[in-house]
Amino acid sequence: MGMLFLIVEDDKQIRKFINFSLRSQDYNCIEAATGKEAMKCISTKDPAAIILDLGLPDMDGIDIIKQVREFSNIPIVVVSARDQDNEKVEALDAGADDYLTKPFSINELLARIRVVLRHSSSNKKEEASVVYKVADLEINLEKHKVTIEGQEIHFTPMEYNVLTLLVRNSGKVLTHKYILKKVWGSYLDSDVQSLRVFMANIRRKLEKNPAKPRYVFTEVGIGYRFTEE
Ligand code: CA
For ligand 1, the distance from its centroid to the CA atom of residue 1, given in whole angstroms, is 29
Question: Considering the entire predicted model, what is its pTM?
Answer: 0.85
Residue 80 is predicted with a pLDDT of 86
Which secondary structure element, helix H or strand E, spans residue 153, and what is its range?
A: strand 151-153
The CATH fold assigned to 127-226 is Arc Repressor Mutant, subunit A (1.10.10)
Could you report the per-residue pLDDT of 93-124, keeping only the tens digit for each? 999 999 999 889 989 999 999 999 988 876 55
Residue 126 is predicted with a pLDDT of 46
Q: Of how many residues is the chain composed?
A: 229
Residue 120 is predicted with a pLDDT of 83
For ligand 1, the distance from its centroid to the CA atom of residue 120, given in whole angstroms, is 26
Residue 124 is predicted with a pLDDT of 54
**% of the chain exceeding 90 in pLDDT:** 80
- Which pLDDT band, with edges at 50, 70 and 90, does 188 fall under? confident
Judge whether 4-125 and 127-226 match in fold: no
Q: Is the per-residue pLDDT at 22 higher than 90?
A: yes
Domain map of the chain by residue range? 4-125, 127-226
User: Residue 47 and residue 43: Cα distance in Å, rounded?
Assistant: 9
For ligand 1, the distance from its centroid to the CA atom of residue 118, given in whole angstroms, is 27
For ligand 1, the distance from its centroid to the CA atom of residue 178, given in whole angstroms, is 26
**Domain 4-125 CATH class label:** alpha beta
- Among left, alpha and beta (phi > 0; psi -120 to 50; other), residue 223 is left
Q: Is the per-residue pLDDT at 132 higher than 60?
A: yes
Q: For residue 100, what are the CA distances in angstroms to 77, 82, 117, 160, 208?
A: 7, 9, 15, 28, 28
